[in-house]
Amino acid sequence: MNLEILFLILFGLLILSAFFSGAETSIMSVNRYKLKHKSKQGDKSANNVDFLVRNPEKTLGLILLMNNFVNILASAISTLIAIELFGEAGVALSVIILTVTILIFAEVTPKTFAALYADKIAYPISWVLYPLLKIFNPIVIVINMISQTLLRILGIKKERINQELLTKDEIKLIVKESSHRIPKSHEDMIVNMIDLEKVKVEDAMIPKNEIYAIDMNSDELEIYNKIISCNHTRIPFYNGDINKILGFLHKRKIMLMLIDGSLKNKDNISDNLSPAYFIPEDTSLTSQLIYFKRERKRMGFVVNEYGEVQGLVTLDDILEEIVGDFNDSSQNKDITKIRNNEFQVRGTVQIREINKVLGWKISEGNIKTINGYILEYLENIPIEGEKFTNEGYDFEIMDVSNNFVNNVKIKKK
């Protein structure tokens, strides 16, 4: 062959080398989630790319086979050209020139370009790689078998990792890293939605001792006065014991009963009660939100495995877990600021609420309220004025009654 033909062949080989280098980077860098969406829609290019991505051993085996073949052939051609032009001394010169040329024009530049425009490049080139993979599949299989045999000899076990699935922590990290594009309020809601599955209804419920409920065994005038003075939309009623829930009375019915004068009659109240809705205490907030929507409910009583009422959870309580407290947290009556990093906290407040409002990191474990946290640590009923330090927080008991810590002063060190 004359020099002109050799130079044309060398130029063509360099183009092929650049093509395969860029192909490798674009296929491995393609957006997996857009790819899966396009593939489900029946896009043929996406189906080809999806096959190449799901079979990285075959894809990389093919690309490396073709790329190495092209580069070695280019080296041979360049050696022939160098000998023709410079004799034996041209061999060393061809190695240097070809190395720099391949590095710049067939490796760095095409791979950088492919990384920047992976999606735009991957789909068109799949029409080339996919048929090539079918043609050279036997050779690729043999190469992979030899490679895997060598790895087993070296004691390296093959583990298939599903790279298409994101963990919840990874999704939260993506959301937080995209904060310059997502408003802070939206970012918080997305993160709260992701965390909703691991939060149980017992973590968001109103404790049993704080439920505003009316005993149907009370006299009619007392029941009437309690109904009139209640500010809630739905009022629970029970029969002697909070565990014997009869149902709840909605404010709409209360207004109608006030108009017709039947609100002072127990029987009329009983007839207008809506049935109670009970929720197992280990139900996640995500599941409960779906149940509320499906059953068209807005309130339910949380019960333990023995059927005993533990608290009350409403649709608003779940929504607050997503969008934040509807009320200003600075006006939280259960958590009162004394001075910087020092607060007075009611014993019924849940630890997770303290951590959420104040940004603290008091460990929860199986304990829900700050009263339970104190009792578990001290392993005794504390007395007023007792102090202790734990996890970097100073605790001072301010008020105790009926073996319950009503108020405690907490200071973060």
pLDDT along the chain (413 residues), means of 10: 86 93 91 84 89 89 92 92 84 88 92 91 92 92 88 75 59 70 74 78 85 92 91 91 92 89 88 92 90 89 91 88 64 80 89 85 83 90 91 92 90 89
Q: Which amino acid is at 93?
A: L
The predicted pLDDT at position 197 comes to 77
Q: Which is it for strands 214-215 and 234-239: parallel, antiparallel or unpaired?
A: parallel
Q: What are phi and psi of 79, to 5 degrees?
A: -65, -45
Decide: helix, strand or coil at residue 261: coil
Structure tokens at 103: 């590095």
Q: What is the DSSP string of 33-82?
A: HHHHHHHHTT-HHHHHHHHHHH-HHHHHHHHHHHHHHHHHHHHHHHHHHH
Q: Which of 94, 96, 111 is closest to 7 using CA atoms?
A: 94
Token pair listed for 3: 């020099």
Tokens of 71: 């580069």
Any idea what DSSP says for residue 158? Answer: P
> Quick check: 245 and 238 in contact, CB under 8 A?
yes
Question: Do residues 132 and 62 lie in contact, with contact meaning Cβ atoms separated by under 8 Å?
Answer: yes
Task: State the maximum Cα–Cα separation within the chain, in Å, rounded to a whole number.
Answer: 117
Counts of helices then strands in the chain (DSSP H, E): 18, 12
- The identity of residue 328, as a single letter, is D
E strands, 137-291, are 206-207, 214-215, 234-239, 241-250, 278-280
pLDDT of residue 147: 85
Q: CA-based angle 144:66:21, to the nearest 5?
A: 105
pTM: 0.55
- Torsion, Cα of 147, 152, 154, 156 (10° steps): 100
pLDDT at 330: 46
Residue the block writes with tokens 């073949």: 69
How many whole angstroms separate alpha carbon 396 and alpha carbon 384? Answer: 8
Q: For the chain, first and last CA: distance in Å?
A: 84
76-99 pLDDT tens trace: 999 988 888 888 878 888 889 999
C-alpha pair distances (Å), 296 with each of 205, 249, 253, 274, 290: 19, 16, 18, 13, 10
Rounded CA separation 59/56 (Å): 5
pLDDT of residue 327: 57
Asked if 68 contacts 200 with a C-beta cutoff of 8 angstroms, the reply is: no
Percent of the chain at pLDDT exceeding 70: 93
Domains, the chain, in order of start with CATH, read: 3-153 (no CATH), 199-323 (3.10.580.10), 329-412 (3.30.465.10)
CB 368 within 8 A of CB 350: yes
- Span 227-284, pLDDT tens digits: 999 988 899 999 999 999 999 999 889 989 988 888 888 889 999 999 999 999 889 8
d(CA 171, CA 190): 10
